[in-house]
Chain A
């Protein structure tokens, strides 16, 4: 009974998300031939690994109660930057760490502006978004192809998975999906098991309390923005593996996808509540919408519109749950 209650209040969003994913998968399987297969499932990872990574990063910021709308630009910028550097003969083992360091710097600057000068997160990250998009075009207006052997290796290298003889039981995952899995596991560990991770939740619950309880709020908040930008840079690297090019106009508006992933996965935009596992499932739901839109042969813009609709729906559901919980709390106080 106790567990049931816990499930109801805390994990209702996540349960809904997983159910939604299953329903959509079943819907696709019934409606289209060849949909029901291991490769459809694995392709969700192959095609959305970068979104999942970026989504996990932004989840940290959302849990602290902030927002980061600069991530799509960070992804595009790291992509263009790496492509440009590789084009000019720099080796990949220098370029990739450099891109990740840029991510860390971007996050540190944004986080510091937000924390130390009490600027609104949306203004700072909006400016960051435009700044980096602008810098993309400053580096190159055209798409730069990547021909580096390591990138090619990561782009094409994959693990075949055979669970049976039938074609439906065959699939493959690319190596870069392993990066996503590593990020997910690290994030899960950090949020659940480290003082920093718990401080992220505490700051989201009440920044003032966190401060008075002796937690280092500055480090926590800036850390969250660094993680967000770092993950975005990493997503940029993965995205370059995926596309083998750097293009400044890539991924416009992807921050909404990342935020949607988090919200669909149960993260509250008001802060304090969220899980990176949920975010990953949220991203997969978006992947499945994309797949269905492709199967239906619809205009790809339907994906965006559907995801936005889904985001609205989940936010409304969250509001209803919050209002209900408030009412229930009122009753509990009355009963006490």
Chain B
């Protein structure tokens, strides 16, 4: 740590989109060589914009960036790479159709004397490089043969191999298992010891405390401060990120929960018996009662989203039975599930949820209209009434229902999708990562809505990768692993530790 020198300085960075949206307002950031620096903030804080400015994806309006004492102004990711800034994104940004080796070396492949690409050297180099990451792959196979986690590691290998001085890791861990995260941290630490400066963006606070040296917090596009990780208690960090007192926030939720504790869960609404879908879930048993919030926990690919997809008729049951109110049902298409009073907010809001170019009103009535059928058109008046009702109820921030949904913020979009399903008056509401990419305030609001709904007798299936969120909302959590149900915690036994233990240990059912 003694050899640290200033590597990267960003000063007075401002960036606005149009007149209304100020994404960054006079933000500063400093990175030393040989440090892992966490960049934290809620969604909309400006983290991603700052990184986009740094990597040349977005043009900055104002401000200066210096790397190694030289002013830089990259205009594209390519230019950023050339000056020594490389990035790994949350979603794997590699080409699935190319070989592993090529994904690592494309754009800078070794050449033969004839001037063509030297495939042999490239393959050998790639294999050697990946060995450093404890990965033994057939690098000549195309990337889509491998799991998302492996792909993510390949992306990191690529980024670290480019003669980078600054490595940006933008939420790289969301698709990795615990073991893989450990592996990643080992690599990060090694790169740090080699003098690289690493910017680490994550929303897992545990990881921040495990691996980073310093923390810079942004809020609402403004710079809040830079702190030594070891000097900043967790609670304080959170309150800096959200700008309000965490304890107060937590308190209101606790009250909500207490309310819920009072209500008794009713009869069984829906159950899965021995349900399998090839490649996604296997021999799943699950039962949800009226008025219950059931949590579904597990790592990515454990079958948590997949279970909801099967329940909603997106993926078909290969084996086993689904019962609704004791009746065996055959769900072939989401509409079948909707007609049985099921509802599902999918994980990928942008691709599976919103209809971007339609108004808030149209987005809200869509599922209800589908449920009613083609010929029973909801009149504009009725639609307006529904829209007004939910804009008020869910406190959606919009001037009117005519706004296109794509112009709303993530949190408000999520509320519109929630309204879409509440309008169908469902008995079971399935929420897959309902608070992902949403600021903490809205997050708490949505959690409260969920608890309230259950209190009114609705059954809720709650899927989240954030354990504390599940603990807050659910009284019973079913844990999945490798497409199978591995355990359940409920009542007083519910705790982060208990869930994690099942997730990690694979306690048998």
Q: Is the CB of B95 within 8 A of A214?
A: no
Decide if A205 is an interface residue (CB 8 Å cutoff). Answer: yes
Q: Which B residues are CB-close (under 8 A) to A216?
A: 78
Could you tell me the distance between the alpha carbons of A198 and B106 in the complex, rounded to whole angstroms? 7
Least CB distance from A326 to B in Å reads 8
Contact B116 A212 (CB under 8 A): no
B126-154 contacts to A, CB under 8 A, are 138, 141-142, 144-145, 147
Known A205-B97, A334-B483: A211·B77 in contact at CB below 8 Å: yes
Minimum Cβ distance to chain B for residue A203 (Å): 8
Check A329–B95 contact: CB distance below 8 A: no
Residue B63 CB within 8 A of the other chain: no
B48-97 interface with A by 8 A CB criterion: 76-78, 80-81, 87, 89, 92-97
The answer to whether A192 and B117 touch across the interface, beta carbons within 8 angstroms, is yes
Cα distance, A201 to B145, chains bound together (Å):
17
Query: Across the interface, do A214 and B96 meet the contact criterion of CB distance under 8 Å?
Result: no
Partner of B102, one of A198, A208, A332, A336: A198
Q: Is the interface of B mostly helix, strand, loop or mixed?
A: loop
Identify which of B98, B138, B282 gathers the most chain A CB atoms within 10 Å of its CB: B98
Annotate A60-85 by CB proximity to B: 1 below 8 A, 0 otherwise.
Answer: 00000000000000000000000000
Interface residue tally on A, bucketed by range: 20 to 34
- Decide: A212 near B107, CB < 8 A? Known: A205-B95, A330-B278: no
Interface status of B279 (Cβ within 8 A of chain A): yes
B147 close to A214 (CB less than 8 A): no
> Residues of A contacting B482 with CB < 8 Å?
334
User: Are A214 and B93 in contact (CB-based, < 8 A)?
Assistant: no
Residues of B within 8 A of A321 (CB): none
- Report if B109 contacts A (CB, 8 A): yes
Judge if B172 is at the interface, Cβ distance under 8 Å: no
CB <8 Å contact, A214 and B279: no
Q: Is the CB of B107 within 8 A of A213?
A: yes
When A195-B109, A330-B279 are in contact, do A273 and B97 touch as well, CB less than 8 Å? yes
Q: Is A294 part of the contact surface with B, judged by Cβ < 8 Å?
A: no
Q: Decide if A194 touches B95 in the complex (CB within 8 Å).
A: no
Interface string of A202-224 (1 = CB under 8 A from B): 10111011111111100000000
Residue of B nearest to A328 (CB): B279
Chain B residues within an 8 Å CB radius of A211: 77
Q: Is the CB of A330 within 8 A of B280?
A: yes
A333, B93: Cβ atoms under 8 Å? no
In whole angstroms, what is the CA distance A208 to B92 when docked?
Answer: 10
B107, A195: Cβ atoms under 8 Å? yes
Does B95 contact A201, Cβ atoms closer than 8 Å?
A: yes
Q: In the complex, what distance in Å separates the CA atom of A280 from the CA atom of B138?
A: 30
Q: State the Cβ distance, A275 to closest chain B Cβ, in Å.
A: 13
Beyond A213-B103, A213-B106, A215-B107: 4 further Cβ-contacts under 8 Å?
A: A199-B107, A206-B96, A329-B145, A330-B279
Interface residues of chain B, those whose CB is within 8 Å of chain A, are 76-78, 80-81, 87, 89, 92-98, 102-103, 106-107, 109, 116-117, 138, 141-142, 144-145, 147, 158, 278-280, 282, 301, 482-483
**28 intermolecular pairs with C-beta atoms under 8 Å apart:** A2-B138, A6-B141, A189-B116, A193-B117, A195-B106, A198-B102, A199-B107, A201-B95, A201-B98, A202-B106, A205-B96, A206-B94, A206-B95, A210-B95, A212-B89, A213-B77, A213-B103, A213-B107, A214-B76, A272-B96, A272-B97, A273-B97, A327-B278, A327-B279, A331-B278, A331-B279, A332-B147, A334-B279
9 smallest CB-CB distances across A and B, nearest first, come from: A330-B279, A193-B116, A205-B95, A272-B97, A214-B78, A205-B97, A209-B93, A212-B93, A202-B95
